[in-house]
Structure 1
Amino acid sequence: MAVKNEFNGVKFSDVPINPGVEFHFILSFAIDYTADGSSSIDGHFNVFWDIDNLSPAQVAAIKHNKKTNAVKSLSQIIREYNLDGIDIDYEHFSADPDTFAECIGRLVTTLKNQGVISFASIAPFDDDQVQMHYRALWNKYGNILDYVNFQFYAYDSSTTVSQFLSYFEKQSSNYPGGKLLASFSTDSSSGGLSPAKGFFSACRTLKKQGKLPGIFVWSADDSMKYGFRYERTSQLLLASSPS
């Protein structure tokens, strides 16, 4: 979208923006001419757009608006439900990794600074695009992210204990310094290392090595049919002393 120098009083807020598309304003024009446009001034550029309605403050405001909407709506939900944190679980991306990292990083930073949340986690899995985006986020904002809720159940259902431990080591190196959670699924359609095939054996090994800050289970809806026995086992393992 180009905002041209016709001085008709057009404001950023006048332009409809579909939230489902990537949208850019182009301010036109900045040119290397005198203020009245009469002659060139050898590379010294001047603004030739409506600075009353398209001022630096208004540029900042329109760029800030989307993050403000996210902060406002999430804060309302978090406070209404008395929640403690958020889990970032984007799995499909239209933005590049740097943009994703900056937007999510600023959002989490703002929510923490305002005391809305006390922790935040991310939920990547082993896919090139997913990892590219989350690692960009981690590299820039890892200091404000408390847990890496890695979806180990996205690996193949034939995963063995030794493979799981290898995957865990690999993801620890991908998110250095992070509290990496082991995870499994009670959903029969998911993969990874299941409790029946040695998940808790792998977790005991990680616990002995001092590498197990927590366990994530997907999901309560599916666990209900098992009477939540795997959740109970997970908690007993985490509460026990390493042996």
Structure 2
Amino acid sequence: MRKRRLPLETVLWSIIGMALYRQKSVWDIATQMDIMLPDKKPLVAPSALVQARQRLGADAVKEVFKAVAQHGYETNSFEQWAGLNLFAVDGVVWRAADTLENHQVFETQSNQHRENTYPQIRMVCHMELTSHLLCYNLIRLGMTAAAKKLDSVWPNQLSFTSCSMAITQFFATLPLTSPGNIPKHYESLLEQMSYFKLPPRREDRTYPRWVKPKPRKYPHKKNKLASP
């Protein structure tokens, strides 16, 4: 019986890694996360990762996202106002594959120089303020757990940038950690994120809006008045 070096559960971790390390290739992410099963060869071909993602499919990722979002919604208390949950509208633009079908359905941006090769998909989401995409949910769950260790601190009072960097580093070093030490390192992560509390906002501080002049490439010359 054939034993694959990239089971579906490890491929799913590579999908999460793609969101955490967007500047890296899929092959580099799989190598850094060390998700491949041991074999005579230390690495797998990049084409194997593509085939593994095709085997996994989009439905499995959707189900994991729904499970994580549902678990976070049921086990955490979210920001409310007047007894109501807070929601927001968020938009995103994706580049679709360069196929004839996508060109017929989605628009392609262009300017005076050239036309964009890839069709673009615009999506508007109605979402709860403390939930987002799959990795966003993981970061928010960690921030919520860290905030619970503090007195009268909401998760949004912690620095999202600092917490996301700490959680990203936690996942990067996770393959080097023995399973028995993972809970201890997780508690250390929560303690570290508790130091990322933002200072209170000054109520008397205002930022008036003003229009900045557009910078010019060359100095502006005033028109000389014609002599009488």
> Shorter-chain-normalised TM-score: which range?
under 0.3
TM-score by length of 1: 0.21
TM-score by length of 2: 0.22
Instruction: Pick 1 or 2: higher relative contact order, CA cutoff 8 A, min separation 6.
Output: 2
